[in-house]
Amino acid sequence: MEPTPLLELRGASVRLGDELVLDGVDFRLLPGEIHSLMGENGAGKSTLVKAITGALPLAAGVMTVDGRPCVFRNPLQAQRAGVSSVYQEIDLLPNLSVAENICLGREPRRFGMVDWPAMREHARRALDTLGVSLDVMSQLGTHSLAVQQLVAIARAVSTDLRVLVLDEPTSSLDADECAELFRVVRQLKARGAAVLFVSHFLEQVYELCDRVTVLRDGRCVGEYLTRELLRIDLVQAMVGDRRVARRLAPVLRVAGPQEPPYLSARGLVATGVHGADVDLLPGEVLGVAGLLGSGRSELARAMTGIDPVRGGVLRVRGDEASFPGPRPAIRLGVVYSSENRRTEGIISELSVAENITLALQAERGVLRRLPEARKRELAASWVEALDIRPADLDRPAGTLSGGNQQKVLLARLLALAPRVLVLDEPTRGIDVGSKVEVQNLVRELADNGVAVMFISVELDEVLRVGNRVAILQSGRVLETLAAEDLTVDSLTALVTGADGIDG
């Protein structure tokens, strides 16, 4: 017999405006389990999380906590009932001490004054239960994001925690930090709490979670035991029958062309890059794999004129070149797409059409304005070519899903007719379906003769997309191998090679 769920939703519906974004979903969290919520972007994952944590009201349905019906009007009420959440953007105060971040709002007081010694003690105990040792009087902002996340969990734990929601907690952590987080999460599980772990990383879900609930189009597809669920079935459940066949078609690999490299770097030195050799060949995708801190983005930025090059040689078609900034690089057909889609890429307020034609307009200069009609025509052709949905040119780009924003960014770069495309984490934070689309798109571009550099933390993706894979360690290219000769396991071993773990 199964234990009573700690938290249960029955027939839960949530309305945003006229749209029913969650439609009669049943969902439950058992004590002592780690539960994952999977689904494509727009499937209703974050809506469900918000409903549980009191950030959105239920339009219909009931929620019970410990068998008792509950309505949370705001996140604070949810916290008081033992339902806490830790978001990717941590809701803590970097300017205050760790102790205050754990205790504030229910800090111990004596005669109406904050009792600092008791607060320190309280915080230390909360961290202890997680097996984390930290100077509780240090300022939170002086710690890494990973540590801050643990502090956020400690804050949740220091109350009477029943349910902990972790929304994309690992997207900015490296492998060690993930391992530490997982250890803490397993400890919570051992203490009988229920953990809801929302992540785009299938691997992590399989490593950590006991049970998976899959959502699609605002409805619950099913609840599965992770160990009984094949990955392919999980993906199928997420994207639905109609699309899976096309999307998971193996990427066709054209035999590597033998043209000379369009862009090559020899002994490149820049911030975080210490003598890297890279060749980007037309018609080929070079996958770049490396740990956090191995200089992945730094290499990309140095090769595209974003960051200054301090040493080594860059050659374009065999001629020495230097990029004092991104503009000269663009003029030679070398373009870069940042990993920080939101802060360095998409301009949320501008329309899709504006976003797509932005770089082209900038390249032409203010005096040669693109005619409005030409702009729209251009944007429309890219929207169609890349299957950007919804296909509405006037929609503010910020309202699109992550995958579609990424496509808009790609379109912007492609409008420049680039010869070299450097993509830094183009699939981060987008759902499985869109990921495959972006991957296929990248392959198509290469097949049309563009040289692509494809950076990703997900090694299977690097292998799927790349013709060759450059393995990066401590700012150097350790080796460049043909993707056919590698497996995820052998690549993992290479990437995490003993001397590569830099401090």
Partner 1 sequence: MTTLEPPVVARPTAGLSRLVDRHASALPTAAAVGILALLLVGAQVYFGNFLTPRNLSALLLDHAYLIILAVGMTLVILTGGIDLSVGSVLAFTGILGARMLASGLSPAVVVPVMILGGAAIGLMIGVLVQYFDVQPFIASLAGLFLARGLAFVVSLQSVKVQSSSILWLQSTRFGVGDWYITPTGIIAVVVLAAGAFTLAYTRFGRTVYAIGGDEQSARLMGLDVARTRVLVYVVSGACSGLGGLVLTAYSGAGYPRNGIGTELDVIAAVVIGGTLLSGGVGYVLGSLVGVLVYGTIKTIISFKGAEQSWTQITIGMLLLVFIVIQQVIVVRSARRR
* Residue among 132 and 378 whose Cβ is closer to partner 1: 132
* Residue among 207 and 479 whose Cβ is closer to partner 1: 207
**Contact between 219 and partner 1 (CB under 8 A)?**
no
Compute the distance between CA of residue 51 and CA of residue 69 in angstroms, rounded to an integer. Answer: 14
* Residue among 74 and 399 whose Cβ is closer to partner 1: 74
Among 67, 128, 183, 344, which residue interacts with partner 1 (rule: CB under 8 A)? 183
Compute the distance between CA of residue 133 and CA of residue 135 in angstroms, rounded to an integer. Answer: 7
**Contact between 150 and partner 1 (CB under 8 A)?**
yes
Which tokens sit at 62?
């009931």
**Contact between 490 and partner 1 (CB under 8 A)?**
no
**Contact between 109 and partner 1 (CB under 8 A)?**
yes
Please give the backbone phi and psi of residue 367, each rounded to the nearest 5 degrees, phi first.
-75, -25
Binding-site residue total for partner 1 (CB under 8 A)? Answer: 49
Binding mask 111-130 for partner 1 (x = CB under 8 A): -xxx-x--------------
Candidates 95-103, 252-260, 339-347, 404-412: pick the segment binding partner 1 (CB under 8 A). 95-103
**Contact between 100 and partner 1 (CB under 8 A)?**
yes
Q: In which order are the strands placed within the sheet that holds 83-86?
A: 83-86, 163-167, 194-198, 34-38, 211-216, 219-225
* Residue among 409 and 457 whose Cβ is closer to partner 1: 457
Among 14, 92, 414, 445, which residue interacts with partner 1 (rule: CB under 8 A)? 92
* Residue among 116 and 313 whose Cβ is closer to partner 1: 116
CB of 96 to partner 1, least distance (A): 6
* Residue among 64 and 187 whose Cβ is closer to partner 1: 187
Please give the backbone phi and psi of residue 206, each rounded to the nearest 5 degrees, phi first.
-70, -30
Compute the distance between CA of residue 382 and CA of residue 354 in angstroms, rounded to an integer. Answer: 12
Candidates 172-180, 292-300, 434-442, 468-476: pick the segment binding partner 1 (CB under 8 A). 172-180
* Residue among 199 and 236 whose Cβ is closer to partner 1: 199
Among 207, 223, 259, 384, which residue interacts with partner 1 (rule: CB under 8 A)? 207
Report the run of H or E that residue 117 belongs to, with start and end: helix 116-129
**Contact between 132 and partner 1 (CB under 8 A)?**
yes
**Contact between 95 and partner 1 (CB under 8 A)?**
yes
Helix axes 231-239, 432-447, angle to 10 degrees: 90
Handedness of CA 163, 168, 172, 177 (dihedral sign): positive
DSSP letter string over 51-82? Answer: HHTTSS--SEEEEEETTEE---SSHHHHHHTT
CB of 139 to partner 1, least distance (A): 5
Compute the distance between CA of residue 334 and CA of residue 323 in angstroms, rounded to an integer. Answer: 10
Candidates 2-10, 99-107, 234-242, 438-446: pick the segment binding partner 1 (CB under 8 A). 99-107
Identify each DSSP E strand in 30-144 by its residue range: 34-38, 60-65, 68-69, 83-86, 109-110, 113-114
Compute the distance between CA of residue 239 and CA of residue 221 in angstroms, rounded to an integer. Answer: 10
**Contact between 137 and partner 1 (CB under 8 A)?**
yes
Q: Residue 167: which residues within 8 A CB-CB, separation 6 or more?
A: 46, 49, 85, 86, 87, 88, 198
Residues forming contacts to partner 1 in the complex (CB under 8 A) are 75-76, 79-80, 91-97, 100, 104-107, 109, 112-114, 116, 131-135, 137-139, 141-148, 150, 175-176, 178-180, 183, 203-204, 207, 492, 496
